[in-house]
Amino acid sequence: MKSTNNLFLYLIILTILDMFIPIPFTGILLIYVLLEKPVWFKELVDGVYGQEEKDS
């Protein structure tokens, strides 16, 4: 599965969870990504936008 398909699937799952369990999962995830800057998020963004890592 492509990164964009995975991202879309995860967003759908989070939306369904948010409808039944009123915990702001996306907000919690956003705070985690902003504070911790995990490697998997950068890889996901690079995969979605088709950018490769460049040596500086």
Q: What was the pLDDT predicted at 4?
A: 73
Q: What was the pLDDT predicted at 53?
A: 58
What are the structural domain ranges in the chain? Answer: 3-49
For residue range 1-56, list pLDDT tens digits in order. Answer: 676 788 788 888 888 888 888 777 778 888 999 999 999 888 888 888 886 655 54
For residues 7-31, one letter each, b for 16 or more C-beta atoms within 10 angstroms of the residue's C-beta and e for the rest, the string is eeeeeeeeeeeeeeeeeeeeeeeee
Q: What was the pLDDT predicted at 35?
A: 92
Q: What was the pLDDT predicted at 39?
A: 92
